[in-house]
Amino acid sequence: MLTFEAISLDMLLTLEADQLDALPFGVVGLSLAGIVEIYNATEAQLAGLQRETVLGTHYFSVTAQCMNNFMVAQRLEDEAEIDEIIDYVLTLRMRPTPVRLRLLKAPQTDRRYILIQR
């Protein structure tokens, strides 16, 4: 199942770039240090950014300061394992936009994911 609610961390890791791009929700994959490694086409289009300018940057400092708090960034840092959906408001293209975020992290995986559904 490749839906926002059901897609698994293992599945995200195995999907090819074009398959990730085809997903109807935003996918952001971060390294342990918070550097953007995956930024799918849906997310790039909704945020109004070009993928190549986001890849390799520190996500919570450069692109998503509004997630750099105890509700998102801190949880991805502190908790060993997360799979949770939270209601949130992002500032996509500077417009306050209600979204659902799914945070995904597992102890055996070096990459964390944030899925974003408008």
Partner 1 sequence: MTTDLEAENAALLQFLYACPAGLVEFSAAGAIGMVNPAAMGLLMPIAGRPFVINLFDVMDGCAPELRNMIHNFAPPQGTVCDGHRIVTGRGERSTILACTIVKLTEDRYVATLSDVTEQVARERRLKQAETWFASLLDGVDDVAVLSLDANGCVDAATPSATRQTGFTEAELLGRPLEWFDRPDRATAMPLPGEAIAVARRDGWYLHEGWHALADGGRYWCQRLVAVRNEAAGAAAGYTLVIRAVTRQGRDTADLRRMLTRDHLTGASNRAHFFETAERQRVRALRDAGSLALVVLDVDHFKRVNDEHGHAAGDAVLREVARRCEAELRPEDIFARLGGEEFVVLLPETSLMKASAVAERLRTSLAREPIVTGGIELRITASFGCSALDTDPAASLAGLLAAADNALYKAKRSGRDRVELSHPNQAAA
Among 41, 88, 106, 111, binds partner 1 (CB under 8 A): 88
91 binds partner 1 per the rule CB under 8 A: yes
Single residue of 14, 16, 33, 96 touching partner 1 by CB under 8 A:
96
Residue 95 in contact with partner 1, rule: CB under 8 A: yes
- Give the residue ranges of DSSP H helices in the chain: 9-14, 17-22, 41-47, 51-54, 73-78
List all residues 6 or more positions away from 62 whose beta carbon is below 8 Å from its beta carbon.
Answer: 54
> According to the binding rule CB under 8 A, does residue 61 interact with partner 1?
yes
- Chosen residue from 62, 100, 106, 109 binding partner 1 by CB under 8 A: 62
CB 4 within 8 A of CB 113: no
Residue tagged 């074009």 (tokens): 18
Alpha-carbon gap, residue 100 to 89, rounded angstroms: 8
82 near partner 1 (CB under 8 A): no
Distance CA 36, CA 59 (A): 6
Token output for 16 = 């090819």
Q: How many residues bind partner 1 (CB under 8 A)?
A: 27
Q: Compare residues 15 and 90 and give the one whose CB is closer to partner 1.
A: 90
Residue 74 contacts partner 1 per CB under 8 A: no
Where on the chain is the footprint of partner 1 (CB under 8 A)?
A: 47-50, 53-54, 61-69, 71, 86-91, 93-96, 98
